[in-house]
């Protein structure tokens, strides 16, 4: 890359928009700097030498060599205006060596399958530190997604199903996780306080779960996982405070089943399920099995 294109004054601290041009085919890269043109120039050189430059610029550099490139200053401006001016120049020139069509972000960029594979391999085995997790947690606290954002997320996930391999990996990951501590339970409880599920959300949950059935294998695994384990409420009792709150929250409310009736289909299924099962009150035996008088008081 030609260094003579930068004058002595350019080496001073200046901010603005620059252009890197391939003199062989005319393709160019547009960028901006809020520090100095000279410093940004050498950072490009350092990244390219380590083969970590901007992908298209890196590929062009590897193909044509350093002598085929020169840097030019397009416009100087205040640091706060750099991105706006950079975008204006990109819209005017349409540089072919820029990866993203938008200044200062990768919005609109589509990675190739090869790039996706490399990114995946780079992240494999990477574990975030507790400090990093805490920072991420703090950054997300209080954040609320807009309705439009939620709608887009929902549409993006429609029709997507996890592969059997993904399900297996998720299952193994969950097995390795530690049991939730009482402190974590308390924090989870506090975050849910005051949260009310709207009728619309309840309807959506109901619709999404209607018609779903577990396979026999799934049921078997659930049964095996629960064998020998006490229920989560085993040995637990509501405090007097909790009882009082439950009582106050239910005052004036009708039971959830009030006015609801089983459908004919539900009745049929219940009937089939109960076939052959002895009612609980028919299983009771006399306290005096050897005393005929106890069996027939008359």
pLDDT at 143: 67
Q: Give the pLDDT band (50/70/90) at residue 24.
A: very high
The 10s digit of each residue's pLDDT in 4-17 is: 445 545 455 578 89
Judged against a pLDDT cut of 70, whether residue 283 lies above it is answered with: no
Q: Tell me the C-alpha to C-alpha distance, in Å, between residue 257 and each of 103, 109, 206, 253, 263.
A: 57, 52, 15, 11, 13
Name the band, by pLDDT with cuts 50, 70 and 90, for residue 3: very low
* Longest alpha-carbon distance in the chain: 120
Closest CA relative to residue 37, chosen from 84, 68, 70, 62: 70
Q: What is the pLDDT of residue 105?
A: 60
pLDDT in tens, 146-155: 788 788 888 8
Q: Are 18 and 32 in contact (CB under 8 A)?
A: yes
Could you give the domains of the chain?
9-102 (3.40.1440.10)
Cα 169–Cα 173–Cα 177 angle in degrees, nearest 5: 170
d(CA 56, CA 58): 5
In percent, how much of the chain has pLDDT > 70? Answer: 85
Q: So what's the pLDDT on residue 289?
A: 54
Confidence of residue 111 (pLDDT cuts 50, 70, 90): low
75 CB-contact burial (10 Å; exposed 0-12 / middle 13-18 / buried 19+)? middle
Query: What's the pLDDT score for residue 284?
Result: 57
Q: What is the pLDDT of residues 58-70, one digit of tens each?
A: 899 999 988 899 8
Confidence band of 22 (pLDDT split at 50, 70, 90): very high
> pLDDT tier at 273 (50, 70, 90 boundaries)?
confident
pLDDT of residue 2: 43
Binned at pLDDT 50, 70 and 90, residue 29 comes out as: very high
Predicted local confidence at residue 298, as pLDDT: 45
């Amino acid at each position: 890359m030609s260094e003579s294109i930068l004058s002595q004054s350019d080496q001073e601290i200046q901010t603005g928009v620059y252009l890197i041009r391939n003199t062989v085919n005319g393709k160019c890269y547009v960028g901006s700097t809020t520090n100095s043109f000279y410093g940004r120039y050498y950072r490009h050189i350092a990244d390219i030498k380590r083969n970590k430059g901007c992908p298209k610029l890196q590929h062009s550099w590897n193909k044509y060599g350093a002598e085929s490139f020169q840097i030019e200053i397009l416009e100087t401006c205040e640091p706060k205006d750099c991105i706006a001016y950079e975008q204006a120049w990109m819209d005017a020139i349409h540089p072919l060596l820029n990866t993203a069509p938008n200044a200062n972000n990768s919005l609109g960029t589509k990675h190739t399958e090869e790039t996706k594979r490399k990114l995946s391999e780079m992240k494999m085995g990477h574990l975030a530190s507790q400090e990093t997790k805490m920072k991420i947690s703090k950054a997300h606290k209080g954040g609320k997604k807009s309705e439009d954002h939620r709608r887009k997320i929902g549409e993006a996930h429609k029709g997507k199903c996890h592969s059997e391999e993904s399900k297996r990996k998720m299952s193994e990951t969950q097995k390795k996780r530690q049991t939730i501590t009482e402190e974590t339970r308390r924090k989870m409880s506090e975050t849910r306080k005051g949260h009310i599920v709207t009728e619309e959300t309840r309807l959506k949950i109901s619709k999404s779960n209607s018609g779903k059935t577990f396979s026999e294998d799934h049921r078997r695994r659930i049964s095996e996982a629960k064998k020998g384990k006490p229920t989560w409420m085993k040995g637990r009792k509501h405090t007097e405070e909790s009882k009082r709150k439950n009582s106050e929250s239910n005052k004036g409310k009708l039971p959830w089943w009030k006015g609801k009736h089983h459908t004919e289909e539900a009745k049929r299924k219940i009937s089939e399920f109960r076939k052959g099962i002895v009612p609980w009150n028919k299983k009771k035996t006399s306290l005096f099995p050897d005393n005929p008088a106890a069996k027939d008081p008359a």
